[in-house]
């Protein structure tokens, strides 16, 4: 049985014993292990049913530890780290040779970030090693933003969730890689691209290629509920095409009045994209439990975190 507790002491004991622990971050919960423990890292891949070519993110306690993990760090990467760490930004950099191939999926690069959650930062302070952690969900499914989501997924296979409450951001970190020192977006996330541009001038968007994704988070079906999901700019119009199905609706700001709707999630009545992002996965988890025939999601404004939300909703529609 999984134990849900806020005891850092218990987490340290498990991790020092090559076990894995689910940790809270400001983005989503992670499934964490000692980056230098072959055994712990193997358990993460096995429990998550994650393909071994899909690398993990290394979580460090501060930018001062970066040189133990990465080398030849571009100036722009340091600028971004200084601006946004601790925070929802992951940098993909050349790896130090001490980093296990298992962590990086055999790549010569490593993904690294400083998470912004007080419990996990306190935990990292007490460890002599960083933590490798993917999101704490089975491969392809919706990421967990609460300890109970993790417990539902892994009650028999993970010994402990360090309960840090609901994740403040609610969507994974933004991943940035570098080509000739120039920043490239590998995955949209909780840090808006506009905020990154404000620091480094311009960023390139990684073009989409499903067969050879640089970050498998770019695989088109990912972050997906089990219920068939549709994305539309006009929920009313799409509802007209249904008659007897059980429909759940997910909207940004304004409630939709229509008798065909069984359940409705309004992500931010006050119209804040930050709030909507923080609520997105929890809402999808709730809708997914209702045995609906379809979830209809409303397309978000294509700015700031709206871009990230549309990216995740788009992936949720793929079968």
Decide if 91 contacts 111 (C-beta within 8 A): yes
Partner from Mg ion, ligand TXA, none binding residue 27, C-beta < 5-8 Å depending on class = ligand TXA
- Residue 235 interacts with ligand TXA (CB under 6 A)? no
Query: Which of 200, 173, 204 has its CA nearest to residue 187?
Result: 173
The β-bridge partners of 178 are 183
Q: Residue 186 binds what, of Mg ion, ligand TXA, none (CB under 5 to 8 Å, by partner type)?
A: ligand TXA
Which of the choices ligand TXA, Mg ion, none does residue 225 contact, using the CB cut-off of 5 to 8 A by kind? none
Q: Which does 15 bind (CB under 5 to 8 A by kind): Mg ion, ligand TXA, none?
A: none
Is residue 145 within 8 A of residue 277, CB to CB? The reply is: no
Is 175 one of the binding residues for ligand TXA (CB under 6 A)? Answer: yes
Which of 216, 301, 304, 306 is close enough to bind ligand TXA by CB under 6 A?
Answer: 216
Among 22, 104, 120, 227, binds ligand TXA (CB under 6 A): 104
Q: What is the DSSP letter of 141?
A: B
> Are 165 and 245 in contact, with CB atoms under 8 Å apart?
no
Residues numbered 130 to 149 that lie near Mg ion (CB under 5 A) are 135
Taking CB under 6 A as the binding criterion, the range among 37-45, 109-117, 123-131, 200-208 that sits at the site for ligand TXA is 109-117
89: contact with ligand TXA by CB under 6 A = no
280-296 burial, b at 16+ Cβ within 10 Å, e below that, comes to: bbbbbbebbeeebebbb
Q: How far apart are CA 235 and CA 299, in angstroms?
A: 9
Nearest residue to the partner Mg ion, using Cβ: 135
Binding interface with ligand TXA (CB under 6 A): 25, 27-28, 30, 54-57, 90, 92, 104, 107, 109-111, 115, 133-135, 172-173, 175, 186-187, 214-217
């Amino acid at each position: 049985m999984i134990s849900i507790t806020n005891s850092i002491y218990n987490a340290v004991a498990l991790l020092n014993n090559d076990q894995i622990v689910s940790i809270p971050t400001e983005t989503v919960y992670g499934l964490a292990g000692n980056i230098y423990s072959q055994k712990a890292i193997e358990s993460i891949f096995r429990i998550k049913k994650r393909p071994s070519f899909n690398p993990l993110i290394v979580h460090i306690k501060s930018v001062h530890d970066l040189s133990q993990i990465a080398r030849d760090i571009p100036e722009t990467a340091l600028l971004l780290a200084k601006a946004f760490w601790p925070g929802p930004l992951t940098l993909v950099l050349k790896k130090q040779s001490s980093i296990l191939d298992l962590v990086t999926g055999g790549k010569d690069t490593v993904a690294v970030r400083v998470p912004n959650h007080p419990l996990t930062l306190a935990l990292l302070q007490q460890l002599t090693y960083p933590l490798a952690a993917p999101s704490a969900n089975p491969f392809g499914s919706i990421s967990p933003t609460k300890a109970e989501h993790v417990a539902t997924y892994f009650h028999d296979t993970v010994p402990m969730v360090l309960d840090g409450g609901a994740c403040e951001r609610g969507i994974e970190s933004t991943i940035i890689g570098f080509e000739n020192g120039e920043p490239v977006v590998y995955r949209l996330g909780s840090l808006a691209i506009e905020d990154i541009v404000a620091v480094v001038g311009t960023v390139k968007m990684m073009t989409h290629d499903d067969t050879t994704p640089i970050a498998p988070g770019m695989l088109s079906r990912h972050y997906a509920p089990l219920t068939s999901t549709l994305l539309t700019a006009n929920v009313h119009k799409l509802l007209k095409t249904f008659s007897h199905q059980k429909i759940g609706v997910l909207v940004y700001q304004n409630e939709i009045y229509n008798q065909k709707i069984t359940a409705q999630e309004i992500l931010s009545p006050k119209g804040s994209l930050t709030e909507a992002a923080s609520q997105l996965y929890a809402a999808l988890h709730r809708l997914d439990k209702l045995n609906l025939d379809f979830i209809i999601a409303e397309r978000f404004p294509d700015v700031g975190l709206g871009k990230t939300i549309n990216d995740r909703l788009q992936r949720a529609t793929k079968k």
